[in-house]
Amino acid sequence: MDSIKNISLPKQLDFFVKYNQDTLMKDMHKFKLDTLPGTKYEYNGNAMTILILLLERIYHQPYELLVTNYLKNHLGLYDTRTKIPVNQLSRFIQGYKDASRPVQWYDLTNKKTNEINTNFFYPGGPSMNSTMADMLKYVIANVEETNPAIRLSHKETYHQTDGTGVGLGWMIGNDDGKRFVYHSGRTGIGFSTLCIAYPEDKMGIMILVNDNLSQDNISILSDKIKVALME
């Protein structure tokens, strides 16, 4: 997978059109562990891809339906999905490398809606599309922690030597003894993002900016917003 990251995004998408669930299952027989489970942290989206495979085969439904139905029924998110319908593409915000350079949009899912056991790989990990209104609902849900699945996702599964940790899809930090969860990312199609929830402070922040802003600068911006909100 490391060699795939060295080629352009369009070529990655072409590759993953051909690489499907059956290919992954076949390749997994060749995997060799080089360390004991739970002893070393390395960011990798393949585990989430395997989880999607398991969910589809256990529930006999496409991941798109599983995730959108859950988000609608449990969190009230009606505008969040892996696949953007053609009739909704006009709502998609143009991404930018910087203020003057728009970035071409690519469908990162490579998956036909409502089909199971088809191509399902996503560059960098599973891809979701949402609106800012839905994301704010999601932030609130992660701040309140009333949903059992959300509480479970905040549980630390790996503790790092610097005092931070990792949950189920979340990074876990500590600010003056108060726990917070966050995740950031760069899509490659013109956006850099940060989603952060402070359950003990009853506060959450969602940031969406151009792709040229570094993750470090987004974190600084988030810290300044937090300070301003607490004044």
Tens-place pLDDT, residues 189-198? 788 999 999 9
Quote the tokens at residue 72: 């609608």
Contact 197, 181 (CB under 8 A): yes
Type and span of the H or E element at 166: strand 165-166
Q: Indicate if the alpha-carbon torsion angle 157, 63, 186, 131 is positive or negative.
A: negative
- Look up residue 177 and give its two tokens: 């003894």
| d(C-alpha 114, C-alpha 192), whole Å | 29
What is the C-alpha to C-alpha distance for residues 172 and 163, in angstroms, rounded to an integer? 9
Give per-residue pLDDT as tens, 145-186. 999 999 999 999 998 888 889 999 899 999 888 999 999 988
pTM of the model: 0.83
pLDDT at 227 over 70: yes
How far is the C-alpha of 187 from the C-alpha of 12, rounded, in Å? 14
Q: Which of 167, 91, 165 is nearest to 80 (CA)?
A: 91
Helix (H) or strand (E) holding 189: none
End-to-end Cα, the chain, rounded Å: 46
